[in-house]
Each structure stands twice: as C-alpha cells, then as structure tokens.
Amino acid sequence: MDLTLSDEQKLIRQAVERFIRNDYSFDARKKIIGAEPGYSTAHWQTFAELGWLGVPLPEAHGGFGGALADLLQVVEPFGAGMVVEPYLPSVILAGTAIAEGGSEAQQAELLPAIADGTLIAALAHGERQSRFNPHDVQTSARREGDAYLLDGQKTVVPGAPWAQKFIVSARTAGERFDAEGIGLFVVDADAAGLQVDSYRTADGARAGNVTLQQVRVPASAALGDPAAGLTALTAALDLGLAAACGEALGAMQAVYQRTLDYVKTRKQFDVPIGSFQVIQHRLVDMFTAVESSRSMLTMLAVRFADPQERARALTATKVHLGQNARYVAQQAVQLHGGIGMTEELDIGHYFRRLTLFCLAFGSTDEQLETYAAEHI
Amino acid sequence: MDLTLSDEQKLIRQAVERFIRNDYSFDARKKIIGAEPGYSTAHWQTFAELGWLGVPLPEAHGGFGGALADLLQVVEPFGAGMVVEPYLPSVILAGTAIAEGGSEAQQAELLPAIADGTLIAALAHGERQSRFNPHDVQTSARREGDAYLLDGQKTVVPGAPWAQKFIVSARTAGERFDAEGIGLFVVDADAAGLQVDSYRTADGARAGNVTLQQVRVPASAALGDPAAGLTALTAALDLGLAAACGEALGAMQAVYQRTLDYVKTRKQFDVPIGSFQVIQHRLVDMFTAVESSRSMLTMLAVRFADPQERARALTATKVHLGQNARYVAQQAVQLHGGIGMTEELDIGHYFRRLTLFCLAFGSTDEQLETYAAEHI
Amino acid sequence: MNVDFSPAELEFQQQVRQWFADNLPADLKRKNELGKMPSRDELVAWQRKLNEQGWLAPGWPEEHGGPGWTATQRYIFDLERARAGAPIGLSMGIVMLGPVLMAFGTPEQKQTYLPRILSCDDWWCQGYSEPGSGSDLASLKTSAVPDGDSYVVNGSKIWTTYAHYANRMFCLVRTSNEGKKQAGISFLLIDMDTPGLEVRPIISIDGEHHLNEVFFTDVRVPKANLVGQEGQGWTIAKYLLTHERTTIAGVADSKVNLGILKAMAAENQSNGKPMLEDPRIRRRIAQVEIDLLALEWTNLRTLAATAAGKAPGPESSNLKLAGTAVQQAITELMVEIAGPWAWPWQTGDYVGPPELAHAVERYNFARAATIYGGSDEVQKNVLAKMMLGLK
Amino acid sequence: MNVDFSPAELEFQQQVRQWFADNLPADLKRKNELGKMPSRDELVAWQRKLNEQGWLAPGWPEEHGGPGWTATQRYIFDLERARAGAPIGLSMGIVMLGPVLMAFGTPEQKQTYLPRILSCDDWWCQGYSEPGSGSDLASLKTSAVPDGDSYVVNGSKIWTTYAHYANRMFCLVRTSNEGKKQAGISFLLIDMDTPGLEVRPIISIDGEHHLNEVFFTDVRVPKANLVGQEGQGWTIAKYLLTHERTTIAGVADSKVNLGILKAMAAENQSNGKPMLEDPRIRRRIAQVEIDLLALEWTNLRTLAATAAGKAPGPESSNLKLAGTAVQQAITELMVEIAGPWAWPWQTGDYVGPPELAHAVERYNFARAATIYGGSDEVQKNVLAKMMLGLK
C-alpha cells in the first residue's frame, strides 16, 4: 500500500504551488478580476507553457494523459489560490467532452489548441429549468440538409465570456428528460444567432447565458453520434465534479490554515482568541473536516478510473466534501468575525467560492439523496 | 396575553411536585421497579385520592374534564420523577379511547373505575408489523351471533401486566391499512384465549405482548361503531403523545438541572468542569433546548383543542421535543462521564426514558417526514 | 393560559394592517422581498410617513413623541410591519440613542435631538467597535481629551453601519486610562461634518456597502455633547444591552422570509416538478418552520413575562441565538433553491429569477447575524454566567 | 498512488478468511452480531484457539510469541476478524500490558507473564481510573507505600473493565507526593486474590455487568511486581497512549455493524414495506456509510504513513473521535429501526426480533465510546495542543 505521490506528481504540484505563492497572491488576483477581460491571458499562457492545460487531455492530442491523481496536483493548489482562469470550463469540461465524444479528426483539431491555450472552450449544457440534470434538455438541434439549426438558451455557462467555442448540448430526438437523443455540438462563439450575456460570478470568475436563435452549424459539428452525446457529457461532468472537489479541498485547507493563524494572533480580552477552548475545539473540528475530505479525495483518486465504482465514489465524495466545505467556510467567517465579512480579506472570497462548490454539479443534499437512492 | 397558570393548575402542579419530592425519590422508585408487581399500588391509590387519575376524564364520569394545559401539570412532574405507574396507559390512552369512543353506558361503567384507580386498563393497538401506524391492523374481530371472536397478537402494550381490561383494536372489515373497518373492543385480561407475555421496558416500567386466540367477547364490548374505532383511537394516541411530550419536558428539565449541578461541583484538573468553556456552552445549549421545548409545549397547550390545528401542532411539538430530548439526554450522559453510564445514578435512567420518548407514537424523524408531507 | 390578543389589541392589529396596505410603496416592498437595502432617500421618505402617523418610534413614550404602546402592541406592530413587507428601517437613533437620551440626557439634549430623530432630520450612526476591540468592547482606545470647552477626539471606529448616510454619531470614547478599563469610557455625540472626521467604506461579502471605518484626527467636540457623566459610558452602553427588545428574535421577518422561500421553491423546478413538491426540500423547510415556531413561542413567553411585569433579563441573548440560527437557515435554503442561479453575482434583476439571483447575497450577509451585536460565542458566555451561574 | 494489497498480502487475507470460516463457533458469531458479550469461558476457549494458530496477539513480535506482522497485515487481520463476525476479545493483557512489559519489564517479568497472556492462563484488567480522577488521570490517589519487600496499597479504582473475570491487574499507584503529580506515579502488577482486594460490580445503562470498582485495603504487593522504576508510571502510561493502534477507529467492526443495520432495515417493515426501501431510512444510512468511508480512508492514510516509516502521532485521537461518532450513529439508527421493539428490556431473544430487542442496549453502551479512553473533549484538547499548537 502506497499513498504517496509519484515524483512526477510532486514536481507538478510544487510548480503549481510555487506559481500561486509567487504570482497569484490575493492582491494580484484582485487586480485580475477587477479588470477586463476578468482573467489573465499571461497566466493562461504560463499554464500552457508549463503543460498544465494538457494534464487531463489525451497524449495523442497534445495532452499529458493524466489520471485524476495527476489532475488533483494542479487543481488543489488552484483552489487554494482561487484561480479564476477557465481551467475547469475549457480544459476539463469542454476538453473531456471532446476527448470522450469527438472523432479523431475533431480531437486532433480542438484538443491541441486547448492544451496550448490558443483555444478557450466552454461547455454549455445547463438551461433555465434544468438545474444540474444533464438529461433535462430543451434546446433543440434540428437537422436541415447538411446542417443543424440550434435553438434554445443555455444558462450559467462558466467561462462563457472568454470562450471562442461552445460545446452545446441539444436535443436531436426524444422528449425533454430522455437520455437518448441528446447531441453535443461545437459552435463558434461568433456564429450568427448566438448571443452571450456575460456576468461576474460569486466566486470571482465570469459566466454567461448563451442564447441560440437559428444557429446553423454543419453536421460535422456534432461530437460523435448526435443522438448519443450524453456519455461524453457525463464523462465531462464527472471529471468536472472530481476536479471541483480537488479545488474545494485546496480552498478548505487554505481557509482553515488562515483561520488557525488568525486565532493565534488575534487578541480579545487581552489573550489570543485561540486560547479559548470553544475556539480550540472549533479549529479541531475544522482540521478534522479538512483531513477527512482529503481522505475521501484519496479514495476517489483510487477508484475514479473504475467504471463500476466511479458514480458511487464520486457521489460520496461530493456529499462529504460539500458538508465539510460548508462547515469550514462558515466557521472561518465566524471566527474571523467582522473582518471575515469584508471584501478586503480573502476569507469572504473563499466563503463564496466554497458556497458555490457546495452547489456545483448537484448540491450536497441532492447528492446525498442520489447516494441513498442508488448506492446503498 | 397571559401564559401564566391558573390557581387551580398551580395547586395541582405543586401537589404533584411535592409528591415526587417526598415520596418518589430515585431510591424509592428503584425499590418499586425492582419488586413485584413493578408499580406501587399505594401510590396508585394516592393518585386516585388526590384526583390525578381523573384529570383528563369527563366530568360526567368521575373526571375533572381537564384540558391539556391541566394534564401537563400532572405529567411534567411525573416525567421529572420518571413515574412508572400506568398513568399514560390507563388514564390517558385507555381512558380517552373509552371517553371518545364509548357509549354513555360504557363510559359510565368504565371511566369512574379508571378515575378512582380500581380499574387499570391498557390500550392494545400495536402489532408486530405495524410500528406506530394505527391503521395497520391485522388482528381480526369476526362477528358470530351476538359475539365477536378476536384473533391476533398485540405487541408492546404498555401496562399490559397490570391491566384488568384491554382496549383492543381489531379489524371487522376492510384490508390491512384501511382506516375504515377498525373496531375497539373492551376485553377482560382473564378472558379465555387471551395470554399476556410480560416484560420490563427500558424506561423502568412494564409492558407485554397480548395474544388473542379465539377470544370471545359480547357484541356490546365494541366501543361505539365496531367499524369506526379509528377516531377514538386517534384521539387517544393524540392525547397520549401530548402527555408524553409533557413527561419528556419534565425529564429534560430534571436531567438538565442535575447536569448543571454536577458540572459545578465535579472537579477535574483541580477546577470544576463547569469552568471549562466547552462545558459551559454545552450547558447553554441544553438550557436552550429545554426552554425551547417548553415554548413548544405552551404552543401545543393553546392549540390542542382546535381540531384544525391539532395534528400540525402535535407533529411539530414531537419533532422539536424529540430532537431536543435526544440532545439533552446524550449530553447529560457525556458530561457526567463514567458515572452517567451506570445503573446506580438516575442520569442513565433519564437517558433511557428519553430515548424511548424519541420513538414514542412515531419517531422524531418519522414525525418530521409527516410534517413535511402534510403540514408545510 | 391565554394567548389571544384582547379585542382592543385585535382592533389595533387591523388598524396597523390597513395602514400598511394603504401606505407602503410597492417598490420599497419589492426591495425588501429581495433582501435589498433601500436607498437613503427612500428610507427617509418612508420613515417620515411613519412619523406622520406617530408610529416611527414604537418604543418611545408619548411625552417624547412616541405612541406609548405596550410591549404587546409593539410586538403586533412589528408582526404587521413584516407581514406587509415593510423594511425594519434604520433604527440607531430610534432604538439606541433615543432611550439613552431619555434616561441620561440633559433637558437641552432631549429637546434638541429627540424631535430631529423623529423628523429624520438627523440620521445617527453608532460608534462602538474599534479595530481590535471586537467582542471585547471595553478595550476601546479612541480618546477624548478635554481642552477648554471641547474634547479632542483621536482614534478610529469600525463596522459603523451606514455612517456614510449619517450626519451624527453617538460613540464611546476613552476619557481616562485610570482604574478598570470600563470606568474610563464616556458617551459622546459627534457631528459627522466636524473637521478631522473621515469615513471610509467597507464592502461586505454580499458585495454591498453597509459598513464603514471612521477616523478621528483631532476632532473637536463641544463638552455639551457629553451624555451623562464623564466615565459613565459603559453604564449607558450596558443599559441599552439589557433594554427590553421584543423583536430581537426577528420572528416576524423570518416568517415572511420563510414564505418567500416557499414561493421560491414553488416557482422553480427540479426534474420538471416544483421544488416545493420534492420531499427533500419539504423536509428541510419543515425543519426550519418548526424551529421558527418554537422561537415564536419563546418570544411570546418572554413577552408575556414582560406584560406580567417581569423585568427582561438575559433572555434576549437566548432569543438572539435562536433567532439568528433561523435567519441563517432560511438564507441557506434560499441558496439551495437557487442552485445554478447562485452563480450570477450582483446582476440585479436582469439575469435569472431575481429572488434566486439575490440568494447568495442574503446568505452571505446573514453570516453577520452571529457576529455583530455580540457573537454567538459571547452570547453563550453571557448566558453561562448570568443564567446558569457558571464561572 | 497505490492502495492495492500486494499478492502476498492478498494471500494472507485469504488464509485468514479461510481460517475464521473454519474455526469461528456459530454461537460466538451470533452473540457478536447481537452486540452481546460472550461469557468468560467462551472467550477463553476462543482466544486459546487463536493462540494455537499464533494469531492471538497480532501486534507482538515473534520473539515473544506474536506473529510479527506488519501494520498492513494487522489491518487485514482485523478486517477479516470483523468480517467473519468474531469478537475483538479482551485485549488488556495483549494490547496494553504486553507492550509495556516488552519495553519496560525485567527479564523475569517478561518470562513469567508474556506466555501466560498468550495461553490465557492470566486475565488482566487495567487499574487506571479512580473515583474523582476521570479524564485527569494524573490526579490519582491510590497509594503504594514501601514496607520491606512489599508495597502496601490503599485506595480504590473504578471503571475497571472485567475485573470480575481477571486474576491480575496492572495499575497506576502513587508512590510519592513530592514534585509534579505525574512524577509520583508507579506501574504495579497486583494479583486479584491478594488479601484486602475487593471487587464490586457496576451495572452499566445497557443493564450489563462490564465494569467494577476495586478497593484496596492494606494490599501487600511484592516489590518485584513493580514495572520500570518507581515514579516511571506516567511515562509508561503515556507510552501506551501514543503506541500505534491501527484499529482504534473501529472501521472493520463498523462496516459489519452497518451491514447488520441494513439487514435489520430490510427485514422489518413500516407501512407494509421493508424499511430499507424508505427514502428517509436510506438517506440516514447513506450519511453513515459515507462518513464511514471517509473514516476508512483516513485510517488507510495513517496506515500508509506508518508503512512508510512515519511515527504515529496524535492521529489516533482523530481516528478515535471520528470512529466513535460513526459507532454511535450506527447504534442510534438501530434504535430508529427498532421502533416499538426498543421497549422490551433485556428480554434476550424471546420477545420480538432479537436484533431489534438489543438495539437500545447497544445504543446505551455505545455512549461510553466518547467517554472512556479519553473523552471527546479531552481528545480535542490534545489535538488542539499537539497538532494545531493552540495553548
């Protein structure tokens, strides 16, 4: 039994951690998100040069072919730094959808560009009514000769303002909730009839609603079978959730550590508040929450590749990290007191990011329900 | 707005409290439950003489005609004393079933005897498979001429070993879960074909399983309509639950107070453990749990008589008291440490009694589910 | 036992309900539903309307322009205010300073300031907390040094709610470093436009500007602005803390917000069905509703004790603890309902369903409830000491 | 990363599994399923069988008659032991005294006692706690005064598990009142049949006799029974506390008990359906199962660190905290499933479904898990100090 990192994993982790430490301080990040376009193209270029954008992508197409355990070495420090660059939207979500659903030609065209940072793509699958259910697709793709006409609205698409291409889920057949009949289509951001309404998101990044009105794409824009896109979509969402858990662990560790440091120095009634027993026990509970989350993610990294185990392991991980992230984030604010409630300090930003994590890909509580229904 | 007790309520409460203080110490109780028959016939006589056995029963039949607010003045101190005498089984459950379901003649025959303590009755409605659902009746009552033949088994009947008469729910028509077709029958404990298997219960009292094999009762043994007994049964269970909540509040208050006293005197590391902040906050949470439960019971006392409000108010009360009773009982044991784990001290007995309360008439969690389904 | 309101109280309730129905502006109501703060002008206009009716300061006696209501009437008024969808309003002058001046102020101070609170000509903010003082309020350092007819104030205050709207501040300052730290504190009234006083905004994690830092550099304050005696500041502050507050639990507003939560769940779908039909959501709403019901009756019990003449004690700590827990639980459920619509940040009403778009802001802001006004931890310390006798 | 067991380990696992299948008596298995303690004779017979196989003391090195297993093998063994339905057994001699004697005992002490532990000719109990000492172990008062070749012991011990089964006790006694209270403590071996020693039963709230008080009145103990030096008792006790324990989290048994819980839910109905089909029950089981999965992997991480040569630290506090929480949650759910069948008390198997009839006993007994062996509160104090550096 060996749960230590490989040398390769250690190297990449150290590199990402070094980047966060040196180039992605809270103040540096604040400048990035306060200006346009809302992420750093320079950093993105760095990520590409250091090979990080290729970690989960296939070796045949410019990637590293990494397993989840490799990917976690990138996303955990990213979570600790609250990185806003579109790693999850472009590399993980769109990248996986293409790698899992696309033909060799499509992969060869798109993946190297994602890996070298020249292409930012985004996965547009959510809709006004769908919440986190990828089956609930009302956007339609109607075949017309050699083309498809796409109609509908995709909502809350992370990275949308920056995307040059969207991977859009749309129904080619069947009824609203059917698993069959969903296709994934590669659509240029500047396609006629496509409009992006962009906004900031609570975690400091950006997203948008993508409206498609009679958007015409060639039939070749379908990633694989235009009626069987759900497999690739699910694979993308699975890896997306796993990576989000990794980011959350990084953020939890960071916010726990800051809280621990704070209670050691912050004085009230002439003593550090860390000398109060209720504060001490609270910190112990936070520590336990972080370490237990790390254990669960270790489990996930081991089991993720096993198709028999993946869904169960992933659901359990989301439940556990969601519950612990909520606790750690809330207590971090509580123990920081007033200063934890301000925009000025990083604590509140971790809080917002972890709040969204608790919802991402299905809320903690929804995932618990899923586990109860399907996995006990 | 006036939430204070009436003079009459104060008098009865003081009398019950005085009885518990003077005659129902933990040691005195231990003697009672350790010997046969497992309750004190002398105390039972006292209860009768002081009028307590008549509190919830109709004035026309030897009772006091009291409202829930009156009954609470009896059962709260009873809960604090962990009284094992069959007040709930005989007076509240069987008494209410008779008062709500019986004819004038049946009431006139049975209720004065319950009120003066000469008759102990027990409500036998649960079955092996029914849990707390009074609709789930498999015991049958088959009409044969002027009689009914009862067959089936009634399980976990509180007070069964002491009962001279049972009020038995049995199906005269319909299928297992039907609300219609359930009758209530008055059956003598010494009826041929009736067997009681008695046992002690975790809360120090006694109960039994009642097996009925071809037990013949006259048709006049049916309380009211033999196909519509559920109304009276429900009324009995409603008042039973309300009274159980009152007992639980009394027990919670007592166990909280003992824990508070204990942490002030028990020393560890040369100081009273009540000087540790985590212990202090735990006591505050226990205090809040008790006071909040008292508030809920105040609400119930006000709303119980309103048929539109009763079910909702009762369910909410059970949920709230159940959640708080669990917390208070667990923490009382935890804060007492080893000594709280022993038979010798009263703490563990309160713990067991409150554990059963959490289950009584449908568990806390089941009641929350009911509230969610029917009352929001 | 009797919790029914008397016929006179019921009539009063009807009167209040009708007045709100007739007078509350629709846009103010809408902002309140979304958990958004009205603008200064909106609030002043609304509070002046309340004052015309004589209802702006429910807790004030008639001699000072209040309605002279009983505790029960104040409870009813707050119930109806919330039910109507009206904001609580900014209450520093009304709830905090008013009672202080009535108890400790000179005749001149009362005459000058009380009417201006009611007319909304003065907007008061509270200068208690300082950087570093937190829950240990008595450790405050802002100094007021006598110099002729004035005090010269130096130091800074923090977490000053709506200081950027206020023209006056009442604050605690240190006039002596001798003896116990509580003994050297005085209660001072300061004009916000005094030279040397500077207000800097603090943005909260809901993205809004509620709070400020206030800096004093040689700010000269007339000695006539001292309330009570020099060194009496701590006594005055404590007087306010134990001052009866029938509405600290926030029951009325939580009931309204629970209704909003249910509406959100009814109007939004999951898997093609209204979320309010989902047993999972119903169970969580049920839990909050039951907790709120218990809280309501704890509040009623306290009110009944007050009505029966019992002096209010540390029960307000208990009510605040339970009340804020319910408030936070409601906002947390709003975020759960929002789901993907929790992402858009401060997009106002133009992206997604507006209630959902504001859910995260409300959840974030509600975190303050267990920090300000004495954190949960401090409240429990108080209860352990005062009610349980644990030292 | 690799959590697979090696081929040799997998073969070991198979061997252990097969041995348990061949050797575990059915009635012992059944008692264990019901959470009941076997009798002394049953346990001795079973432990002797294990010892014949060389597996009674998994943590002992080969030179003292142990199997000399790695931490991973011990983990696997415990996994299979639990899966087979075998009880943990009484481990005071094996887990506690054995390692102490190996580290601190004289050659004579090792030679005398270690073989008798393995042969089950000696049954040891532990005399640490005293009335009043609780979690503040160092405050113990039982005195051992030198007198010729003996110590004369006076005082009493409490919470002595299975003292009524034991023929020997290792205990902490006070040999000096000088200096720090920890410094005057010594580690002494006492025969239970020594004159002046009396054992009185304590009945626990599960209705069973697990615990005892032990009274010493002028009990003469040969000085040869001192382990280590006079005054070294505290060091020895602490050595045991930080002694690596791969199984303190109780993962293996909790997995088995979770399986029993599911079977209980599958076999019992509510509203005519197996309770295991009720989403409410499923959700609660899911919560425990997920918590247990996380615990299992925390345990594996600790094990991997041990295997990689890292000295075990205060992680055992963490594992105990989380492990006992899961144990209590499982028994609490058993009570929920039991419903009305929670009422019958100690009726054995003759009333109602036996698993359900024992549910309350198990729940009651499980409360001890967060009290004994360092309460939750003490564990958190330890973690705050040792891991987080909070003082």
| Nearest residue in B to D207, CA atom | B343
What's the mean pLDDT in A79-101?
Answer: 98
Q: Collect the ranges in chain B with pLDDT lower than 50.
A: none
Place of tokens 């409009």: A195
Asked whether the beta carbons of residue A4 and residue D5 sit closer than 8 angstroms, the reply is no
User: For the residues C191-217, what does the mean pLDDT come to?
Assistant: 95
Chain B's closest residue to D134, CA to CA, is: B268
Distance from C-alpha of D90 to C-alpha of D56, rounded to nearest angstrom: 10
Q: How far is CA B169 from the centre of its chain?
A: 18
* D10 phi and psi angles, rounded to 5 deg: -65, -40
Residue type present at position B180: E
Q: Tell me if C360 and A352 make a contact (CB, 8 A cut-off).
A: yes
**Contact (CB<8Å) B201/D136:** no
In a domain, D94, yes or no: no
What is the percent of chain B with per-residue pLDDT over 90, rounded to a whole number? 98
pLDDT in tens, A191-249: 999 999 999 999 999 999 999 999 999 999 999 999 999 999 999 999 999 999 999 99
Q: For residue C223, is pLDDT > 90?
A: yes
Q: Are residues D267 and D362 in the same domain?
A: yes
pLDDT at C134 over 70: yes
State the burial class of residue A82 (Cβ atoms within 10 Å of its Cβ: 0-12, 13-18, 19+). buried
Taking the Cβ of residue A21 and every Cβ of chain B, the question of whether any pair is shorter than 8 Å is answered with no
Domain assignment present for D27: yes
Taking alpha carbons only, the member of C366, C323, C333 closest to residue C261 is C333
Residues C309 and C277 in one domain: yes
Q: Which residue has the higher pLDDT, D374 or B341?
A: B341
Share of chain D above pLDDT 90, in %: 75
Question: Is D301 touching A (CB cutoff 8 A)?
Answer: yes
What pLDDT does C1 receive? 45
* Domain end call among C64, C89, C114: C89
The domain boundary residue, chosen from C204, C232, C260: C232
The single residue listed with the structure tokens 């602490």 is D238
Contacts of D279 (CB under 8 A, 6+ apart): A369, A372, A373, C279
Count interface pairs B-D at CB distance under 8 A: 134
In this complex, is the C-beta atom of B268 within 8 Å of any C-beta atom belonging to chain A? no
- What average pLDDT does this structure show over A52-62? 97
Cα–Cα distance measured from residue D231 to residue D235, given in angstroms and rounded to the nearest whole number = 9
Q: What is the pLDDT of residues C74-100, one digit of tens each?
A: 989 999 999 999 998 777 899 899 999
Question: Structure tokens of C273?
Answer: 């069905």
Cβ(B334)–Cβ(B266) below 8 Å? no
Contact of C375 with C135, CB cutoff 8 Å: yes
**Contact between A281 and D380 using a beta-carbon 8 Å cutoff:** yes
Q: Is residue C258 part of a domain?
A: yes
- pLDDT at residue C156 is higher than 80: yes
**Of C42, C244, C267, C332, catalytic:** C244
DSSP B189-205: TT-TTEEEEEEEBTTS-
By C-alpha distance, the chain D residue nearest A9 is: D1
Q: Among positive and negative, which fits the CA dihedral B224, B228, B229, B234?
A: negative
**Chain A closest-CA separation from residue C24 CA (Å):** 32
Percent of chain C with pLDDT over 90: 75
Q: Which of D90-99, D136-145, D241-250 has the lowest mean pLDDT?
A: D241-250
Q: Do B278 and D345 touch (CB under 8 A)?
A: no
- Copy the structure tokens of residue D361: 């006993």
Establish if C290 touches chain B: CB-CB under 8 angstroms: yes
Q: What is the mean pLDDT of residues A152-179?
A: 97
Count interface pairs A-D at CB distance under 8 A.
Answer: 124
Asked whether the beta carbons of residue B338 and residue D371 sit closer than 8 angstroms, the reply is yes
Beta-carbon count within 10 A of C211 CB: 22
Q: How many CB atoms lie within 10 A of CB B42?
A: 10
Q: What is the DSSP string of A135-158?
A: T----EEEEETTEEEEEEEEEEEE
Interface test mutation site (partner A, options C181, C275, C336, C343, max chain A beta carbons within 10 A): C343
Provide the residue range defining the domain that includes C291.
249-386
Task: Report in angstroms the alpha-carbon separations of D236 from A65, C332, D99.
Answer: 52, 50, 10
Give yes or no: residues C329 and C372 share one domain. yes
Mutual angle of helices D376-386 and A277-303, in 10-degree steps: 80
HEC profile of chain C: CECCCCHHHHHHHHHHHHHHHHHCCHHHHHHHHCCCCCCHHHHHHHHHHHHHCCCCCCCCCHHHCCCCCCHHHHHHHHHHHHHHCCCCCCCHHHHHHHHHHHHHCCHHHHHHHHHHHHCCCCCEEEECCCCCCCCCHHHCCCEEEEECCEEEEEEEECCCCCCCCCCEEEEEEECCCCCCHHHHEEEEEEECCCCCEEEEEEEECCCCEEEEEEEEEEEEEEHHHEECCCCCHHHHHHHHHHCCCCCCCCHHHHHHHHHHHHHHHHHCEECCEEHHHCHHHHHHHHHHHHHHHHHHHHHHHHHHHHHCCCCCCCHHHHHHHHHHHHHHHHHHHHHHHHHHHHCECCCCCCCCCHHHHCHHHHHHHHHHHHCCCCCHHHHHHHHHHHCCCCC
In a domain, C266, yes or no: yes
- The pLDDT of residue C372 is above 90: no
Partners of D199 in the beta sheet? D214
Q: Which of D158, D339, D367 sits opposite B363 (nearest CB)?
A: D339
Is it true that the peptide bond before B37 is cis, omega within 30 degrees of 0? yes
d(CA D110, CA D122): 13
Q: How far apart are CA B116 and CA B114, in angstroms?
A: 6
pTM listed for this prediction:
0.95
User: Phi and psi (nearest 5°) for B207?
Assistant: -150, -175
Tell the residue number behind the tokens 């992420």, with chain if given. A39
Binning pLDDT at 50, 70 and 90, where does residue C350 land? low
Is the Cβ of C384 closer than 8 Å to some Cβ of chain A? no
What's C332's domain CATH number? 1.20.140.10
Tell me which chain B residues have a C-beta less than 8 angstroms from the C-beta of A277.
Answer: 276-278
pLDDT given at position D1: 45
The CATH H-level (homologous superfamily) assignment of domain A7-88+103-115 is Acyl-CoA dehydrogenase/oxidase, N-terminal domain (1.10.540.10)
Q: Quick one: pLDDT at residue D242?
A: 65
Q: Which of D89, D113, D138 is the last residue of a domain?
A: D89
pLDDT of residue C386: 86
Which among A260, A292, A372 has the least Cβ separation from residue D388? A260
**What torsion do the CA atoms of B271, B276, B279, B280 make, to the nearest 10 degrees?**
110
B376, C262: Cβ pair inside 8 Å? yes
pLDDT at residue C244 in the model:
54
Q: Is D266 part of a structural domain of the chain? A: yes
**Are C207 and C259 part of one and the same domain?**
no
Binning pLDDT at 50, 70 and 90, where does residue D243 land?
low
Of C147, C33, C166, the residue nearest C87 (C-alpha): C33
Residues C278 and C376 grouped into a single domain: yes
Residue A340: CB atoms within 10 Å: 25
Q: Which residue of chain B is at minimal alpha-carbon distance from D158?
A: B338
Q: Using CB atoms and an 8 Å cut-off, which of residues 175-194 of chain D contact chain A? A: none
Chains that touch D (3 or more CB pairs under 8 A): A, B
Say which CATH superfamily domain A232-375 falls into: Butyryl-CoA Dehydrogenase, subunit A, domain 3 (1.20.140.10)
Contact B85, B77 (CB under 8 A): no
- Rounded Cα gap, residues D289 and D295, in angstroms: 10
Q: How confident is the model at residue C307 (pLDDT cuts 50, 70, 90)?
A: confident
Contact residues, chain D, for B237 at CB < 8 Å: none
The backbone region for C346, taken as left when phi is positive above 0, alpha when psi lies in -120 to 50, beta otherwise, is left
Q: Does D184 share its domain with D274?
A: no
Measure Cα distances from A309 to A233, A299, A304, A315, D204 in Å: 18, 11, 7, 10, 43
Neighbours of A, requiring at least 3 CB pairs below 8 Å, are: B, C, D
Same domain for C139 and C82?
no
- Least confident range from A299-303, C116-120, C351-355: namely C351-355
Contact D13, D80 (CB under 8 A): yes
- Contact across the interface for C270 and A131, Cβ inside 8 Å: yes
In sequence order, what E strands does chain B have?
121-124, 140-144, 147-158, 165-171, 182-188, 194-200, 206-218, 267-268, 271-272
Domain map of chain B by residue range?
7-88+103-115, 121-227, 232-375
Cα of A299 to nearest chain D Cα, Å: 6
For chain A, list residues whose CB is within 8 angstroms of any CB belonging to chain D: 1-6, 69, 260, 263-264, 274-275, 277, 279-281, 283-285, 287-288, 291-296, 298-299, 301-302, 316, 319-320, 368-369, 371-373, 375-376
Chains contacting C (3 or more CB pairs within 8 Å): A, B
CATH fold match for the domains A7-88+103-115 and A121-227: no
Q: Searching chain B, which residue's CA lies closest to the CA of residue D369?
A: B334
The pLDDT value recorded for residue C245 is 65
- Residue C18: the pLDDT is 97
Q: What confidence score (pLDDT) does residue A282 get?
A: 98
Segment (H or E) for D173: strand D168-174
C178 domain-assigned: yes
Residue among C312, C321, C311 at smallest CA distance from C373: C321
Same domain, D182 and D278: no
Count structural domains, chain C.
3
Using an 8 Å CB-CB cutoff, list chain A residues near B281: 278
What CATH number corresponds to the domain at position D204? 2.40.110.10
Give the pLDDT of residue D136.
Answer: 84
In this structure, are C264 and C337 located in the same domain?
A: yes
Shared domain check, C77 and C135: no
Which residues in chain A touch residue C269, judged by CB atoms under 8 angstroms apart?
129, 131
On average, the pLDDT of chain D sits at: 92
Q: Is A276 on the interface with B (CB under 8 A)?
A: yes
Residue in chain A closest to D295 (alpha carbons) equals A292
Peptide bond into A37 cis (omega under 30): yes
Residue D243 lies in a domain: no
In this structure, the answer to whether residues D289 and D334 fall within a common structural domain is yes
Which are the contacts of B91, defined by CB distance < 8 A and separation ≥ 6? B53, B54, B55, B56, B57, B114, B115
pLDDT of residue D310: 74
CATH superfamily, with its number, for domain B121-227: Butyryl-CoA Dehydrogenase, subunit A, domain 2 (2.40.110.10)
* pLDDT tens-digit map of C8-45: 999 999 999 999 999 999 999 999 988 888 899 999 99
What is the structure's pLDDT at C302? 87
The alpha-carbon gap from A329 to the nearest alpha carbon of chain D, in Å, equals 18
Residue type, C184: G
Residue C266 and residue C146 share a domain = no
Mean pLDDT of C263-269: 95
The reply to whether C106 falls in a domain is no
Nearest to A278 by CA among D370, D325, B279, D374: B279
Which chain C residues have a beta carbon less than 8 Å from that of B283?
A: 384, 388, 390
Those residues whose C-beta lies under 8 Å from the C-beta of residue D264, and which sit 6 or more positions away, are: D334, D337, D338, D353, D355, D356, D359
Give backbone dihedrals phi and psi of A212, rounded to 5 degrees, phi first: -120, 115
Residues of D recognised as catalytic: 244
Closest CA to B334 of D140, D372, C384: D372
